[in-house]
Structure 1
Amino acid sequence: MKLIHLSDIHLTVPGSTIGGRDPRHNFERALRHVLADHSDAELMVITGDLSDWGDRADYEWLRGRLDGFPLPVRLCIGNHDNRAEFLSVFPEYAGSDGFAQGFQDTAAGRCLFLDTTEPQTHAGRYCPPRQDWLEQRLSEHDGPFLLFMHHNPMPTHLGPMDQIRLLDDAAFRRIVGRNRDKIRHIFFGHCHLPLGGSVAGVPASSLRGTNHASYPLFSEKAMLSASDLPEAYGVAFVGPDYVTVHMVEFGYQGAIRTEGSPDFAMWNRETMQR
């Protein structure tokens, strides 16, 4: 199975920019790139920060754009999103507990879409009602599961970034640990960085967003760090006994070269272009 992972699209009013980049324009570029190379994907998931300011108009525009998109799409919300405004436009995500959570079955297993948003803070929360929801979903199905969420569920060891991580990360990891045999992979956003690691023994990955990028500047202790690295989205291939995750830098403007055959016999000093 192939799935597409986008994050941190940060839609805002037409013509507005973030870091000198137009989020709507770059989101459209990402969608075109996805369809050009990955029209066979079974699912596309966008893990939060759908809107930069949580404006209803952004969700209405996104709804209209995705309603005509040929791939199935599922959404998570992030710290820049407004849950009430989001649910007013995407009511199908509303759970009985008031959070924007859900699931979808795929060829690779059951995908769970988590709500880690907390009003009036950029940090993530996973309070007891949300923990109970996750425990119940994991207990009612044999799996395997893929988890999608916005906030990073483990420390990055970047001081300013970890101030706005999932603050209930230890409790979340305990739930994951109890169910690690069922969970294949955890996909998250929020950090605007390519990240890989594990959560209670379960592999996890993140990526740059479709607009602005961060940078792992470990010497900066107070402020979040930004860069002009290319915009990106993710492609994951989920097989019976493996998961492969790529970060595709669709915003890269340089040349892409073919350097040689994978045939070892063709590698020689006379013909190789180096």
Structure 2
Amino acid sequence: MLIAQITDIHLGFEPDSPGEFNRQRLDRTLDRLASLDPLPSLLLLTGDLIDRGDVDSYRRLREALEGFPVPWHMALGNHDDRANFAEVFPEHTFTEGFLQYEITSNPMRLLVLDTLEVGRHGGGFCNTRAAWLNARLDEDADTPTIIVQHHPPFECGIPWMNTVPEEPWVQRLAACLAGRDNVHTMVCGHIHRASASAWNGLEVVTTPSTAPQVALEFAAIDTDAPDQRPLIVADPPAYALHFWNGRELVTHWDTAEHRTVLARYDANLQPMIAHMFGERPPR
């Protein structure tokens, strides 16, 4: 099984621009994903779908997704607006006011969580959301499960993007997931970079954005003294492919940019490829 993920699209950052930079980057990424062989089973869009929470930007996002060849599913981030999202994407299911729902795609189950906390840049996960997650996990303790959300619960090391373990929402989420042996991985966005962590024993990965990326700067930051450090950089738009091999989820990251091919599978390299397959036991 192959799952595609894009995140932090931030449509509407240039609200009056018909050729918006972020839309161009999104279109290139979707074109790349639509050309894959095999196609992914589904596409996850993991929050900060738009930049200012406005209806028009959600409409442009829906337009960009029209005709995409596989089903797509969304989570919300801190730049999103629940009411405006629901107006444009009514097929998405809200539970007690939160965009939390289950996706079943044999042989996996995905649980999409809502970590949007209005007024916060960082995440949130209240008792209502936790009760929903606990109920879903209690219903099925066997099916391999992926948690999908916008905010990663780990401390990434980039000071202005950090989440710290003392945050109440992190502790509440950790309590829900403790001892859940069938939860294999959590996939997130928000950091605008590829990163991975063994958070409380659970693999958590973040995917780079289709919008520009966050600069990799670990130096301590003084909130009262701007130091001209880079915050956002124009690295290429990117995506993740999560491959379920029957035992574990393996994540690959790639960009949607053109690259120079240095070798192809031709007659010269056929013996090497055949030899590599010959080394493996039959399946």
Q: TM-score, normalised by structure 2?
A: 0.84
- Match of 1:32? 31
Runs of 4 or more, structure 1, over 4 Å off, are 163-166, 259-262
Alignment of 1:8-47 (within 5 A): 8-12=8-12, 13=15, 15=17, 22-38=21-37, 40-47=39-46
- Match of 1:269? none
Cα displacement (A) at 1:176: 1.4
State the alpha-carbon separation in 1 of the partners of residues 165 and 200 from structure 2.
Answer: 16
- Match of 2:124? 125
Q: Quick one: which amino acid aligns to residue 36 of structure 1?
A: S
State the alpha-carbon separation in 1 of the partners of residues 211 and 82 from structure 2.
Answer: 22
CA deviations 1:98-124 (Å, max 9, x no partner) are: 011111101231111110001112111
Check whether the contact 1:123–1:165 (CA below 8 A) recurs between aligned residues: no
The gaps in structure 1 that reach 5 residues or longer are 267-274
State the alpha-carbon separation in 2 of the partners of residues 232 and 164 from structure 1.
Answer: 26
- More displaced stretch, 147-156 vs 217-226: 217-226
Cα displacement (A) at 1:39: 5.3
Alignment of 1:72-91 (within 5 A): 72-91=71-90
Cα displacement (A) at 1:201: 1.3
Identity of aligned residues (%): 27
CA deviations 1:205-229 (Å, max 9, x no partner) are: 1121012011220015147822222
CA deviations 1:105-149 (Å, max 9, x no partner) are: 012311111100011121110011111111111111232211110
Check whether the contact 1:51–1:59 (CA below 8 A) recurs between aligned residues: yes
Q: Secondary structure at the match of 1:96?
A: coil
State the alpha-carbon separation in 1 of the partners of residues 166 and 113 from structure 2.
Answer: 12
CA-atom RMSD, angstroms?
2.6
Q: Quick one: which amino acid aligns to residue 132 of structure 1?
A: A
What is the aligned length? Answer: 261
State the alpha-carbon separation in 2 of the partners of residues 66 and 230 from structure 1.
Answer: 20
Change (3 A) 1:164 1:234: same
The gaps in structure 2 that reach 5 residues or longer are 276-283
Cα displacement (A) at 1:67: 4.1
- Match of 2:156? 156
Q: In the alignment, is residue 134 of structure 1 matched against residue 139 of structure 2?
A: no
State the alpha-carbon separation in 2 of the partners of residues 164 and 206 from structure 1.
Answer: 16
Change (3 A) 1:164 1:227: farther
Q: Secondary structure at the match of 2:87?
A: helix
Q: Quick one: which amino acid aligns to residue 175 of structure 1?
A: C
Change (3 A) 1:98 1:38: farther
Alignment of 1:172-191 (within 5 A): 172-179=173-180, 181-191=181-191
